[in-house]
């Protein structure tokens, strides 16, 4: 009898461990006719889409409660969406992989394997490196692509970053695909061969591997955004794109740990943002960076944390580059804070501290109704193809960004 009792206890414990906990997630539609209202709302929730006088966002239960307390009059509609998408997928407890049918997306291990494979196939041209470790101890992998320079001083650099936000999986695929394409083309294409003689291309496809893998745990999506820091109040996660030091905590981020836009206990409190910071500080040849997010089809440039532009000739240059790229991928170019104020992001810090010309792309789809964060694996190729030209455009400018002003 005692043995059976023990077995029952063990069975119960195992069931509790293996339980697939579904935390509720809501889609919210709000009236927010101007920047001022949007910026106030963005103090509480992340705004995913701005369409006309309305904003749309996917929020967790805590954030929903806060927004209901302060802005109930602005809420036009509200829908529980978590269970809806989950029911499409057959879950597999304990398995960390994309849902069935979504396997074209790369898991963390597959990203690492692909980068290792590229290094092997293109020995001498591609170099795998780690920026550091995530909070759960995963290496933050990057790949450096460039030919041996005749003299080191001549070499410029550009960096492409993916997946600061866990659920934005398309933003891993775009820079990752670019790594392979650049290497394949180097063999045949004089333009790329010449580019790599003068410019090192750094690709870091997954800044937030813990969050991204948590988002697909049990083979179903969770709408997870942050990293997996266990906070003092036992909630999880810091919004890595609110954790950089430049203007940290000055708007569009929350000091509440359970919020999806939690800025962290201090600027650079997170190992992932610290690793990005130390990488750029150690690689001062990098003059241009592009950080991929999803979604909305936008090209954003600093500042995000304040309404003013960066001013002077750099403001002209940012605008020119953004408009040139918009002509290629047909996204909408704008200063980040034109949407709403958000402080502590990657690009404000990169430009503010290191004068790196940094852009954020909010990749396809355009809206929630085209799939939002989960548009399906079938869009990967199309989204990637649309962004090859802007990526090459930036890579060619890394040596002398101001040259953009001379381009027609």
Phi, psi of 332 (to 5 degrees): -95, 120
Number of H-type helices and E-type strands within the chain:
12, 12
Burial of residue 128 (CB within 10 Å: 0-12, 13-18, 19+) is middle
Burial of residue 235 (CB within 10 Å: 0-12, 13-18, 19+) is middle
Active-site residue flag, 353: no
Phi, psi of 40 (to 5 degrees): -70, -45
Reference 296, options 244, 248, 334, 346; nearest CA is 334
Task: Tell me if 331 sits within 8 A of 324, measured CB to CB.
Answer: no
The DSSP output letter for 206 is: -
Interface segment toward Zn ion; rule CB under 5 A; list 53-61, 68-76, 293-301, 376-384: 293-301
Interface segment toward Zn ion; rule CB under 5 A; list 246-254, 274-282, 287-295, 395-403: 287-295
Least Cβ distance, residue 6 to Zn ion (angstroms): 47
Closer residue to Zn ion (CB): 111 or 161: 161
Listed in sequence order, the residues at least 6 apart from 142 whose beta carbon sits closer than 8 Å to its beta carbon are 115, 128, 129, 130, 131, 202, 203, 204, 205, 279
Closer residue to Zn ion (CB): 246 or 292: 292
Residues between 48 and 107 that touch Zn ion (CB under 5 A): none
Any alpha helices (H) in 330-364, and if so which ranges? 346-354
| Residue 222 sits in the site that holds Zn ion (CB under 5 A) | no
Closer residue to Zn ion (CB): 198 or 254: 254
Number of residues written out for the chain? 408
Least Cβ distance, residue 164 to Zn ion (angstroms): 6
Least Cβ distance, residue 359 to Zn ion (angstroms): 14
Closer residue to Zn ion (CB): 363 or 398: 363
Least Cβ distance, residue 10 to Zn ion (angstroms): 41
Task: Write the interaction track for Zn ion spanning residues 126-165; mark x where CB under 5 A is met and - where it is not.
Answer: ---------------------------------------x
| Residue 180 sits in the site that holds Zn ion (CB under 5 A) | no
Reference 253, options 55, 37, 46, 32; nearest CA is 46
Mode of pairing for the β-strands spanning 298-301 and 357-363: antiparallel
Task: Tell me if 182 sits within 8 A of 201, measured CB to CB.
Answer: yes
Any alpha helices (H) in 32-107, and if so which ranges? 35-41, 61-71, 82-86
Choose, by CB under 5 A, the member of 219, 293, 396, 399 that binds Zn ion: 293
| Residue 226 sits in the site that holds Zn ion (CB under 5 A) | no
Least Cβ distance, residue 345 to Zn ion (angstroms): 9
Least Cβ distance, residue 241 to Zn ion (angstroms): 6
Interface segment toward Zn ion; rule CB under 5 A; list 17-25, 128-136, 166-174, 248-256: 166-174
Interface segment toward Zn ion; rule CB under 5 A; list 85-93, 230-238, 290-298, 303-311: 290-298
Interface segment toward Zn ion; rule CB under 5 A; list 76-84, 279-287, 292-300, 306-314: 292-300
Closer residue to Zn ion (CB): 178 or 295: 295
Closer residue to Zn ion (CB): 126 or 298: 298
Closer residue to Zn ion (CB): 46 or 180: 46
Residues binding Zn ion: what is the number (CB under 5 A)?
A: 3
Interface segment toward Zn ion; rule CB under 5 A; list 41-49, 73-81, 125-133, 285-293: 285-293
Least Cβ distance, residue 283 to Zn ion (angstroms): 23
State the DSSP string of 274-288: HHHHHHHHH-TTEEE
In the set 114, 297, 362, 385, the catalytic residue is: 362
Task: Put residue 350 in one of left, alpha, beta given phi > 0 → left and psi -120 to 50 → alpha.
Answer: alpha
Radius of gyration of the chain (CA): 21
Least Cβ distance, residue 159 to Zn ion (angstroms): 17
Residues between 303 and 332 that touch Zn ion (CB under 5 A): none
Would you name the residues annotated as active-site residues? 362
| Chain contacts with Zn ion (rule: CB under 5 A) | 165, 168, 293
């Amino acid at each position: 009898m005692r043995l059976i009792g023990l077995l029952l206890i063990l069975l119960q414990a195992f069931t509790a461990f293996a339980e697939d906990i579904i935390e509720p997630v809501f889609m919210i539609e709000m009236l927010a006719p101007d920047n001022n209202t949007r910026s106030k709302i963005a103090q509480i929730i992340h705004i995913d889409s701005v369409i006309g006088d309305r904003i749309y966002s996917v929020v967790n239960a805590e954030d929903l409660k806060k927004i209901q307390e302060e802005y109930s009059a602005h809420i036009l509609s509200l829908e529980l969406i978590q269970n809806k998408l989950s029911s499409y997928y057959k879950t597999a407890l304990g398995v960390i992989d994309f849902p069935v049918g979504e396997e074209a997306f790369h898991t963390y291990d597959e990203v690492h394997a692909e980068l290792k494979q590229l290094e092997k196939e293109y020995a001498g041209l591609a170099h795998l490196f780690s920026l550091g470790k995530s909070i759960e101890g995963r290496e933050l992998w990057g790949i450096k692509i460039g030919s041996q320079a005749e003299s080191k001083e001549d070499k410029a650099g550009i960096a492409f970053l993916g997946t600061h936000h866990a659920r934005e999986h398309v933003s891993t695929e775009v820079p990752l695909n670019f790594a392979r394409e650049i290497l394949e083309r180097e063999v045949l294409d004089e333009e790329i061969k010449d580019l790599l003689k003068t410019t090192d291309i750094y690709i870091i496809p997954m800044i937030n591997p813990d969050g991204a893998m948590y988002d697909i745990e049990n083979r179903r999506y969770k709408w997870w955004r942050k990293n997996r820091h266990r906070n003092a109040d036992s909630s999880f996660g810091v919004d890595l794109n609110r954790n950089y030091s430049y203007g940290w905590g000055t708007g569009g981020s929350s000091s509440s740990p359970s919020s999806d836009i939690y800025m962290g206990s201090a600027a650079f409190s997170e190992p992932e943002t610290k690793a990005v910071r130390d990488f750029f500080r150690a690689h001062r040849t990098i003059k241009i960076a592009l950080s991929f997010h999803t979604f909305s089809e936008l090209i954003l440039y600093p500042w995000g944390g304040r309404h003013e532009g960066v001013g002077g000739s750099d403001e002209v240059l940012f605008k020119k580059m953004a408009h040139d790229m918009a002509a290629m991928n047909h996204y909408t170019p704008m200063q980040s804070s034109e949407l709403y104020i958000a402080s502590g992001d990657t690009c404000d810090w990169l430009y503010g501290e290191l004068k790196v010309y940094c852009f954020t792309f909010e990749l396809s789809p355009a809206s929630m109704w085209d799939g939002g964060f989960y548009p399906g694996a079938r869009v990967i190729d199309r989204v990637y193809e649309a962004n090859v030209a802007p990526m090459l455009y930036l890579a060619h400018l890394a040596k002398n960004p101001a040259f953009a002003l001379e381009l027609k």
